[in-house]
């Protein structure tokens, strides 16, 4: 499923490069990096785990008629969820290869800046997942792998502004990465991460 989706995205991007002279389809390539505000709700009536993380990646975007945009930016994502317990601080630390697919409605006709809002899906392949205990009395630290952590999916909503500088684009962006609690399982965990990103793209 994921492989087929990536093939379709690459075909769309290739079509954009071929037709960018006609202004119906345009493309851009570049890098995106930023900070993550991490929130994990266990669903067991205990306190939430919060923390910070970071992400960095390289990707491309395709604009259709300057109004609809499709962006795919594979990233390396680090998230850390922490909570103070009675005698130690508990942290869940993840390293993930992250594939966000984001579709947005953009005011691309504006000459200098183009605000946009959108939604999408994010697919995560977890490379490492560890539970870390830092004990208060002796500052000792233990690390235990989290079993069963392999892949995950997120809903993405948010928006940003594309600043146009000749053939370059500077894009500050805010998105919420959501993994909601299933309606049929009120005791399940829930994740809400907030990405503060800055992208730099070349638009031929």
* Alpha-carbon gap, residue 63 to 106, rounded angstroms: 9
Instruction: Give the DSSP H/E element, type plus range, for residue 9.
Output: helix 2-19
| pLDDT at res. 184 | 73
Whole-angstrom distance, CA of residue 37 vs CA of residue 130: 18
pLDDT in tens, 133-186: 999 998 899 999 998 888 999 999 999 999 999 999 999 999 999 998 877 776
Pick the CATH number of 55-77+97-126+139-202 from 2.40.37.10, 2.60.40.2550, 2.40.160.20, 1.10.579.10: 2.40.160.20
Local structure of 22: helix, strand or coil: helix
**What digits encode the pLDDT tens for the residues 5-56?**
444 444 444 444 444 444 699 999 999 999 999 999 987 767 899 999 999 9
Give Cα separations from 174 to 23, 75, 144, 157, 193 (angstroms). 27, 16, 33, 9, 11
Tell me the backbone φ, ψ of residue 5, rounded to 5 degrees: -65, -40
**CA-CA distance, 121 to 103, in Å (whole number)?**
9
How is residue 3 annotated by DSSP?
A: H
Sign for the pseudo-dihedral over CA of 13, 14, 20, 23: negative
Domains of the chain, residue spans:
55-77+97-126+139-202
């Amino acid at each position: 499923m994921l492989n087929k989706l990536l093939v379709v995205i690459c075909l769309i991007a290739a079509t954009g490069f071929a037709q960018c002279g006609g202004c119906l389809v345009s493309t851009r390539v570049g890098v995106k990096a930023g900070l993550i505000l991490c929130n994990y709700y266990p669903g067991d009536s205990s306190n939430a785990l919060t923390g910070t993380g970071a992400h960095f990646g390289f990707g491309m975007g395709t604009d259709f008629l300057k109004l609809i945009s499709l962006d795919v930016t594979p990233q390396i994502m680090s998230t850390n969820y922490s909570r103070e317990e009675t005698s130690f601080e508990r942290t869940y630390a993840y390293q993930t290869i992250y594939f966000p697919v984001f579709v947005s409605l953009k005011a691309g006709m504006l000459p200098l800046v183009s605000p946009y809002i959108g939604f999408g899906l994010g697919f995560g392949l977890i490379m490492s997942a560890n539970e870390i205990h830092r004990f208060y009395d002796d500052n000792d630290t233990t690390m235990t792998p989290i079993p069963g952590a392999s892949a995950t999916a997120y809903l993405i909503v948010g928006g940003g502004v594309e600043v146009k500088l000749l053939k370059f684009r500077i894009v500050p962006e805010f998105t919420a990465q959501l993994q909601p609690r299933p309606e049929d399982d009120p005791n399940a965990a829930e994740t809400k991460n907030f990405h503060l990103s800055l992208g730099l793209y070349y638009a031929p």
